[in-house]
Amino acid sequence: NGDEDTKKAAALPTFREYLTSSENSPNTGGLSSVLQTLSEACVEIQREVDLAPIRAAAGKGSNATSSSSSSRNASGDEQKELDLVANEILISRLRECPSVAIGASEENDEIIQMSEGTAGAEGKSYAVVFDPLDGSRNVECNIPVGSIFGVYEHDEALGVLRPGRDLVAAGYVLYSSSCLLVLTRGDGVDGFTLDREAGEFVLTHPDLRVRERGQIYSVNDARYWDWPQGLRDFIDAIRRGEGTGGGGQYSARYVCSLVADVHRTLLYGGLAMNPRSHLRLLYEGFPMAFVMEQAGGKGVNGKTNLLDMTPSGLHQKTPVFVGSSGDIAELLSYGDVVQTSTKTYSV
């Protein structure tokens, strides 16, 4: 019954308790406050996602399906009103956290100055990079969307144009049938579910690990004829059950919402990919690769490990392939798997 469910939920560690627990936390003070702030901001974003269709129908704004007056962000993507709402929530919340010195968002052209970056208990301040609402075009049809984030120790000289290896934490929040937060601090991956009644995340998926091989691939294969031969050969092989993993024929599952596709891959194995330079290295590629690697998988750009790259700019784009290490290794064995054409698509 309801009372028993409440008692069971109360027995699960909250996100705050997880962060402050000495047995779980490699870093205390400043980093924990940054991550707690991010979790609270994402609870607010979840509410906005839930309410967006109601507000749109009532003519009260926050219509996720309408374009903002800004039209497009620095990455060239059309901005929805809900993109800007989510962005403002994250910026406002992070500015209230004294341990955050600077931020960078997919929706902003330049670095965002936050607080003075007061050092936390471990004597450090932080830089946060984020995609405030990935997949916002899907809100109208009620397909899952998400927020993605990465955290660096702040270095005034380097800013955020640093290799993904420098990340000290990364994760994502999936706004779906339940609201899930997935986090790594470089010591494995844990998952948390939002208790909507309590308004906070609780630990529900400790020590997430991606299997060595999966049987699902995720890509928009309507673009098949625009791909290089190597990628076509790889997809043909796993479709026919002729991959080196020996696991039989693969199935295709594709949401076109990066957080949803990566999360399914994390749970079930296989690989999720966008073979053209379309995703942002800093806001999407790095965090997803860090999460996947900490869960036992890999993230590559089709040639090298994503985490070994150094961004040349805040909005540099890259191909992204993330998933089970065995599947990624087989993909790379085909050599030419990156779509290099500059063709654009209207849908």
Task: List 181's β-bridge partners, or say none.
Answer: 173, 192
Q: Which residue in 83, 153, 327, 330 is the catalytic one?
A: 83
Task: List 52's β-bridge partners, or say none.
Answer: none
Backbone angles phi, psi at 113, to 5 degrees: -80, 125
- The question of whether 23 is a catalytic residue gets the answer no
Q: Which residue in 40, 106, 190, 293 is the catalytic one?
A: 106
Q: Are strands 145-153 and 179-184 parallel, antiparallel or unpaired?
A: unpaired
- The question of whether 284 is a catalytic residue gets the answer yes
- The question of whether 242 is a catalytic residue gets the answer no
Retrieve residue 191's tokens: 């998952």
Task: List 218's β-bridge partners, or say none.
Answer: 272
- The question of whether 107 is a catalytic residue gets the answer yes
- The question of whether 195 is a catalytic residue gets the answer no
Distance CA 178, CA 205 (A): 13
CB proximity list for 251: less than 8 A, separation 6 or greater:
215, 216, 217
- The question of whether 77 is a catalytic residue gets the answer yes
Distance CA 57, CA 155 (A): 45
Helical axes 81-95 vs 30-57, angle rounded to 10°: 150
- The question of whether 4 is a catalytic residue gets the answer no
Stated as kind and residue range, the H or E segment containing 325 is helix 325-333
Taking the C-alpha atoms of 89, 254, 315 and 127 in order, what is their torsion angle to the nearest 10 degrees? 50
Question: Is the Cβ–Cβ distance between 167 and 34 less than 8 Å?
Answer: no
Question: Is the Cβ–Cβ distance between 122 and 31 less than 8 Å?
Answer: yes
- The question of whether 40 is a catalytic residue gets the answer no
Q: Which residue in 40, 48, 81, 107 is the catalytic one?
A: 107
- Report the largest interatomic distance among the alpha carbons of the chain, rounded to a whole angstrom: 58
Q: Which residue in 40, 48, 81, 131 is the catalytic one?
A: 131
Report the catalytic residues.
Answer: 77, 83, 106-107, 131, 133-134, 284
